Each structure stands twice: as C-alpha cells, then as structure tokens.
Amino acid sequence: MPNKNGTILVVGGAGYIGSHMVRQLLAARYDVVILDNLSTGNRKLVPGGELVPGSLGDAEVLDRLFAGHDFDAVMHFAAFSQVGQSVNQPLVYYRNNLAETLTLLEAMVRHDVRRFIFSSTAAVYGEPTAIPITEDHPCLPTNPYGNTKLAVERLLADCDAAYGLKHTVLRYFNAAGADDAGDIGELHDPETHLIPIVLQAASGLIDHIRVFGTDYATTDGTCVRDYVHVNDLARAHLLALDALMQGADSATYNLGSSNGYSVNEVIAAARSVTGKEIPVVTGPRRPGDPAILVASSEKIKHALGWKPAYASLRTIIRTAWNWHLKQAH
Ligand SMILES: NC(=O)c1ccc[n+]([C@@H]2O[C@H](COP(=O)([O-])OP(=O)(O)OC[C@H]3O[C@@H](n4cnc5c(N)ncnc54)[C@H](O)[C@@H]3O)[C@@H](O)[C@H]2O)c1
Ligand SMILES: O=c1ccn([C@@H]2O[C@H](COP(=O)(O)OP(=O)(O)O[C@H]3O[C@H](CO)[C@H](O)[C@H](O)[C@H]3O)[C@@H](O)[C@H]2O)c(=O)[nH]1
C-alpha cells in the first residue's frame, strides 16, 4: 500500500533519536529517506526507509537527493553532541553542526523545500537562572556544542524571514530509554550518557559508575536532570510535522518531562529496575555541568497537545534495560 502522508528526509536517522523517529514516521505512513554518514550512528539501528550514506555537508549528494524526491519536510538530527569534546575541538563542532547545516539549508531553499524540524538542546540555555526553564529563558550557552545549536536556531529565524523557511526548534532535555520492542536504542561508542553507563555497570560490562560531583546545591549533592523518553521526543516531532503541514508558523519548544532526578536517584531507580547492585565511585565534577536542568514543557503541551507518555523514570530505565539485555545476547 503506498504511503499517503508525505515524504520526509530524516538527516541523522541512523542515530539514537533519529532511528526512533524513522520508526514512528513509517508507522504513521510516511515515506522516509535517511541521510546519514554513520559517523556516530549505526546501520543496524535503521528500522526501515531508504538509507543514503552521505554527509549533509555534501551539496552534490543533497542535490541528487532533493532532485530525486519530493520532500514535504526535513528533520535534522545529525550533529556531534558531546559537550566535553566540543570544548577541545570547537572547529570540528562548528563545521559539523553549523557549517554542514548551512549546506543543507541552502539545498532546501534551492529545491524549494520549506519545512524543517531541528534537534536543539537544553545546552542553549547555559547555567539556568530559574527552574523550570521556559523557552524565554536567556540563551547563554557555556560550551561550543550549545553555541553551535544556538547559531543554527538563529540561522533558521533569519531563513524564515528571508525565504519563508518554516521551522520547529525542539530543545530536548536528557533523551533516554529505548523503543519497547527492544531492537533499537542508545548505541554510542564511547558512551557518555548516564543511564546507559549505569546499565553497563549493572550488567558488569564496567566495574562501576563514577558520579561526577557530589557537592552541588541539590538535595543530595549530585546533578539533577530531566529525563525524557526517546519515543516521546519522536512523537513531538510528528505533532510538529502535522502542524507545519497545516501551515503553522515557526516555533521553539522545550521537550522534557518537567521532573528532575539527581544522579543518585537515577542509580537507585536503576538498582530497583534491574535488581543489580551497581557499584558506585564518586569523582570530581565534570566541567560544564549545570547543577539542575529541568524543563517547563507547558508551551508545547498547549500548542500541540504533547505530553510525555513515559512519565516515570523507572519506566524509562526499564525500556533502556530491555534494550541493553537484548544487546548482550
Ligand atoms: N541524546 C540527547 O540526550 C540529546 C539531547 C539534546 C539534543 N540532542 C540532539 O539530538 C540529535 C540526535 O542526538 P542522538 O543522541 O541521536 O545522537 P547520535 O549521535 O546517536 O545521532 C546523530 C546521527 O547523525 C549522524 N551524523 C552526524 N554528523 C553527520 C553529518 N555531518 N552528515 C550526516 N550524518 C551525520 C550520525 O552518524 C548519527 O547517526 C543531535 O542533534 C543532538 O545534538 C540529543
Ligand atoms: O558517567 C557519568 C555520566 C554522567 N554523569 C552525570 O549524569 C548527569 C547526566 O549526564 P549525561 O551525560 O547523561 O547528560 P548531560 O546532562 O550532560 O547532557 C545532555 O544534555 C545536554 C544539555 O545540557 C546536551 O544536550 C547533551 O547532548 C545531552 O546528552 C550529569 O550530571 C553528569 O555529570 C555522571 O555522574 N557519571
């Protein structure tokens, strides 16, 4: 049966969040083309659609892609996203996250594709002055990664004004969990995110989890974050896509659960879900980590009716554990 809803280019669709997006788009009967250079992604995460290996900074590849398909919209997940690495290699980050995105936007304008959904981040806010963080909180990133994302946000606003490029900016807080089927999930090498590392410690793949800092001004001294399920992130994109298809104006939304959990609380929840001991050692703060990041997601709730379906941290961890166990076998 032919797909009826449209054709979407998913850039970075072989990555963690992008692969969950591809699955939801296919389920919602969109045709999906994935552009991914597999730099941090993995072919085995791609759940369907047409994978075109290549870089979004390659104008020739883009021209061929846009000439060969009638895209209704582009979803852009491709980026490097390790904060610490961005501090040491800013040129690599500005090249990959900003310059390559410029090439993609140029191709879109050239081929008259004017709907765009962008994966931004809580890192655009920097050190928050108020919690929960609303979208009108000042944007003062504290690292090059956040700077590159904010630069793209500003570029998008200018492209809307000049070329009518309608876009939705989605500022994710901490993406976590895996699809319930257990066949796609977080697969980074090296892994830097808390929950997958905690689960590696639970299964004995690593000796312990190191807690970065126990002297923050939080209830137990460890950093507080807002964990949001990867399928909830993908569902927000579907809602944003629907809105853009119906002529919505450009908008910026936070995506979080609005609940904050400390690193110690995440470890405790993981112990309870896995039934494993999870050895912990404490270490110094990781440079650049704000003490508390918790989203207000009221704006997208009101505008698009989005609400996380995976509301509890335990449920989120359970889906990640399910994926982790299937990986091991
Ligand atoms: N994971 C999180 O908690 C989180 C939080 C906030 C924002 N984000 C943003 O969400 C997006 C997806 O994150 P993720 O965790 O799925 O990352 P990921 O590394 O798993 O996925 C990124 C994908 O993009 C591809 N890619 C990177 N550069 C490319 C290029 N130049 N050309 C083509 N493909 C390229 C990679 O191969 C990979 O498949 C990123 O933009 C990230 O900055 C992630
Ligand atoms: O081995 C570890 C790994 C992480 N942490 C702590 O766990 C918390 C969560 O860390 P993650 O690395 O999982 O996530 P971040 O909050 O650093 O980063 C997330 O949010 C950022 C925005 O602030 C970016 O968007 C980034 O891409 C996204 O993964 C932090 O307090 C971190 O210090 C540890 O204690 N030990």
Query: Structural domains in the chain?
Result: 7-176+227-255 (3.40.50.720), 194-225+258-328 (3.90.25.10)
- High-pLDDT (> 90) share of the chain, %: 95
pLDDT tens for each residue of 208-231: 999 999 999 999 999 999 999 999
Q: Report the greatest alpha carbon distance in the chain.
A: 58
| Whole-prediction pTM | 0.98
- Nearest-CA residue for ligand 2 atom 3 is 194
Average of per-residue pLDDT across 87-111: 97
Q: What are the φ/ψ torsions at residue 197 (nearest 5 degrees)? A: -70, -40
Nearest CA to ligand 2 atom 2: 194
Q: What is the pLDDT of residue 311?
A: 87
pLDDT digits (tens, 9 = 90+) for 57-73: 999 999 999 999 999 99
Q: Ligand 2 centroid to 266 CA: how many Å?
A: 12
Q: How confident is the model over 17-74, as pLDDT tens digits?
A: 999 999 999 999 999 999 999 999 999 999 999 999 999 999 999 999 999 999 999 9
Give the closest ligand to the alpha carbon of residue 287: 2
Percent composition of the chain: helix, strand, coil (DSSP 3-state, to 5): 40, 20, 40
Please identify which of the residues 16, 30, 125, 145 carries the catalytic annotation: 145
Judged against a pLDDT cut of 60, whether residue 183 lies above it is answered with: yes
Hey, which bits of the chain come out as E strands?
7-11, 31-36, 50-53, 73-76, 115-121, 166-172, 174-176, 209-212, 224-225, 227-229, 251-255, 261-262, 280-283
Ramachandran class of 211: left when φ > 0, alpha when ψ lies in -120 to 50, beta otherwise: beta
Q: What is the pLDDT of residue 3?
A: 53
Q: Which ligand is nearest to the CA of 200?
A: 2
Q: How far is the CA of 8 from the centre of ligand 2 (A)?
A: 30
Q: Say whether 145 is catalytic.
A: yes
For 244, the 3-state DSSP assignment is helix
pLDDT at position 97 over 60? yes
Return the ligand 2 atom nearest residue 285 CA.
33
User: Whole-angstrom Cα distance, residue 45 to residue 27?
Assistant: 16
Phi and psi (nearest 5°) for 323?
-65, -45
Mutate to test the pocket of ligand 2, among 174, 195, 215, 228 (most ligand atoms within 8 A of CB): 174
Residue 2 has pLDDT above 60, yes or no: no
pLDDT for the residue numbered 209: 97
Q: Does residue 198 register a pLDDT over 70?
A: yes
